[in-house]
Amino acid sequence: MSRLSRGDGAPVPIRTLTARSADGARVHVEVHGQDGAPAVVLAHGWTCSTRFWDAQIGDLAADHRVIAYDQRGHGRSPEVGREGYSTDALADDLEAVLAATLEPGEKAVIAGHSMGGMTVMAASQRPTVRAHAAAVLLCSTGSARLAAESRVVPLRAGAVRDRIHRAILRSPAPLGPITPLSRRMLKYGTMGPGSAPERVETCARIVHACPRTARQAWGHVLAELDLDACVRELTVPTAVIAGTEDRLTPPVHAHALMASLPDSLGLTLLTGVGHMTPVEAPEAVTARIRELVTAYVRAAGGGPVAEADGVGVPGGAGTKAEGAGIPGGAGAEAEGTRSGTVDGMAEKEDVA
**Can you spell out the DSSP letters for 251-305?**
HHHHHHHHHH-TTEEEEEEETT--S-HHHHSHHHHHHHHHHHHIIIIITTTTS--
Total-model pTM = 0.84
Number of Cβ within 10 Å of residue 197's Cβ equals 9
Which helix (H) or strand (E) is 223 found in, with range? helix 212-223
* CA pair distance 212, 64, nearest whole angstrom: 34
Select from 98, 116, 97, 96 the least CA-distant residue to 106.
98
pLDDT in tens, the chain (352 residues): 444 444 467 899 999 999 999 999 999 999 999 999 999 999 999 999 999 999 999 999 999 999 999 999 999 999 999 899 999 999 999 999 999 999 999 999 999 999 999 999 999 999 999 999 999 999 999 999 999 999 888 888 889 888 898 888 888 888 889 999 999 999 999 999 999 999 999 999 999 999 999 999 999 999 999 999 999 999 999 999 999 999 999 999 999 999 999 999 999 999 999 999 999 999 999 999 999 999 999 866 533 333 333 333 333 333 333 333 333 333 344 443 322 223 333 333 433 3
